[in-house]
């Protein structure tokens, strides 16, 4: 589907984005392991989260869905078993890398035979970072050169002692999930702090685990075969979706935007700190704190300056870099992104896709293997952008289209439903 987006005079109003996608995945999976009924309200309506819901249903988890509220009847860790019919159960992960990686950890731990498949984009994404440590500790996983489709066979998993070599909250979570099925104590270390949604949910569920600082990262200890308590929570709004509206309000002069009920977890909302050091008028107010802090963000159109994002900050802003590139195009000076090679193995090669998008809008950008440099401050023009099926590229292109003169066209714009089905409705609500 093509979408035409025209330049706007300003951005004004209040919005609430849908439930956080990352938290929604984890809340569903962990609730399936609890002993008793969990209630998750404000669940993301994203297609990716629907893939996790469908996968859990295929595994026999009892789910009662009513709008954005889901009741999950967990049967405890020992209850996640399926009769062995001789054929693995097939789970379609769609476009969702989170579903694929979390399910791999869950299934390897539970000893459930399953075949994980996905769409063309997901089939190209790396899975060895999850497969290798699980197989090292006794899992049996058949794969296609480290990619989907995967076939998970019954194995005999041992307690895990592993340092995650690539900063990845998904890999960390997959190993935690597998460890919860194994007798004894497992230890997972990360050398660079990543997003801590899993740890926060486990704490809220009184799970048998501990997370503590370790050198520059963290050490997570899991005592296996102990059921977590049921979960009762409200999922806050998704900051990774809200950031596109925030970036748009920053770059369109005279704009005033309020985002309500949005997640403000410090390991997830670092992008707001980046915008602030660029000179962005971004005010936050945390209104509730557990298990996930959330609140209100107020934004005004601002005069921005370039910045550098690299090193340990990258894992905390990795999904927001396309939105950051939009702001960079309107900032004076250069904005430099380094150490972000991980962007090349997202739903698209996001380094290449962002650079192509910036050039098509008339901006100046230098691409590198691990990032790019945007030279901002020059006028931009309207453009024709191919989303390549990447939801964050489609949303970033829409932001720049609103800030450019004339009308731009985004091809394949329907892919925004992967993470933010309400994106274009919200956009129309706040632009003038």
Tell how strand 308-309 and strand 333-337 pair up.
Answer: parallel
Tell me the C-alpha distance between 123 and 291, whole Å.
33
Tell me the C-alpha distance between 337 and 327, whole Å.
13
Q: Using the 8-state DSSP alphabet, how is residue 243 labeled?
A: H
Tell me the C-alpha distance between 281 and 340, whole Å.
26
Whether a cis peptide bond, with omega within 30° of 0, leads into 149 is yes
Sequence-distant (6+) residues with CB within 8 A of 366 are 372, 373, 375
Q: Which of 20, 48, 238, 319 is catalytic?
A: 319
What is the number of other CB atoms lying within 10 angstroms of the CB of residue 142?
A: 12
Secondary structure, 3-state, 367-406: EECCEEEEEECCCCCCCEEECCCCHHHHHHHHHHHHHCCC
**3 state SS of 285:** strand
Tell me the C-alpha distance between 374 and 378, whole Å.
11
Helices (H), 234-285: 239-251, 270-277
Q: Using the 8-state DSSP alphabet, how is residue 146 labeled?
A: T
Interior/surface letters 363-387, b for 16+ CB within 10 angstroms, e for the rest: bebeeeeebbbbbbbeebebbebbb
Tell me the C-alpha distance between 425 and 4, whole Å.
13
CB 326 within 8 A of CB 400: yes
319 catalytic per annotation: yes
Tell me the C-alpha distance between 346 and 344, whole Å.
6
Active-site positions? Answer: 319
């Amino acid at each position: 589907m093509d979408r035409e987006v025209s330049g706007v005079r300003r951005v004004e109003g209040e919005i609430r984005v849908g439930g956080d996608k990352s938290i929604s995945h984890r809340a569903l999976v962990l609730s399936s392991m609890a002993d008793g009924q969990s209630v998750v309200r404000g669940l993301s309506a994203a297609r990716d989260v629907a893939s996790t819901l469908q996968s859990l249903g295929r595994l026999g988890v009892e789910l009662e869905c009513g709008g954005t509220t889901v009741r999950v009847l967990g049967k405890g860790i020992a209850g996640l078993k399926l009769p062995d019919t001789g054929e693995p159960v097939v789970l379609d992960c769609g476009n969702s890398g989170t579903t694929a990686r979390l399910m791999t950890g869950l299934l390897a731990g539970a000893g459930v035979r399953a075949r994980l498949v996905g769409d063309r984009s997901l089939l190209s994404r790396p899975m060895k970072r999850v497969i290798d440590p699980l197989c090292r500790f006794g899992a049996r996983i058949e794969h296609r050169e480290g990619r989907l489709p995967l076939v998970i066979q019954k194995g005999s998993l041992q307690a895990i002692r592993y340092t995650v070599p690539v900063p990845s909250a998904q890999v960390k979570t997959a190993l935690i999930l597998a460890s919860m099925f194994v007798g004894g104590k497992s230890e997972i270390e990360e050398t660079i702090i990543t997003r801590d949604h899993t740890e926060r949910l486990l704490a809220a569920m009184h799970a048998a685990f501990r997370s503590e600082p370790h050198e520059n990262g963290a050490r997570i200890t899991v005592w296996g075969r102990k059921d977590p308590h049921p979960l009762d929570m409200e999922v806050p709004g998704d900051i990774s979706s809200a950031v596109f509206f925030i970036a748009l309000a920053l770059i369109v002069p005279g704009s005033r935007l309020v985002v309500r009920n949005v997640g403000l977890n410090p390991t997830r909302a670092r992008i707001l700190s980046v915008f602030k050091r660029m000179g962005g008028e971004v005010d936050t107010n945390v209104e509730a704190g557990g298990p996930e802090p959330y609140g209100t963000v107020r934004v005004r159109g601002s005069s921005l300056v370039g910045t550098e994002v690299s090193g340990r900050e990258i894992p905390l802003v990795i999904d927001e870099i396309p939105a950051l590139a939009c702001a960079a195009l309107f900032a004076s000076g250069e904005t430099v992104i380094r150490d972000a090679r991980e962007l090349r193995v997202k739903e698209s090669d996001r380094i290449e896709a962002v650079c192509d998008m910036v050039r098509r809008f008339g901006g100046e950008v230098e691409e590198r293997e691990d990032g790019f440099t945007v030279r901002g401050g020059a006028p931009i023009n309207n453009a024709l952008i191919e989303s390549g099926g990447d939801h964050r590229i489609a949303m970033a292109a829409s932001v720049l289209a609103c800030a450019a003169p004339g009308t731009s066209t985004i091809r394949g714009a329907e892919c925004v439903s992967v993470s933010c089905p309400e994106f274009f409705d919200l956009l129309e609500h706040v632009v003038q």
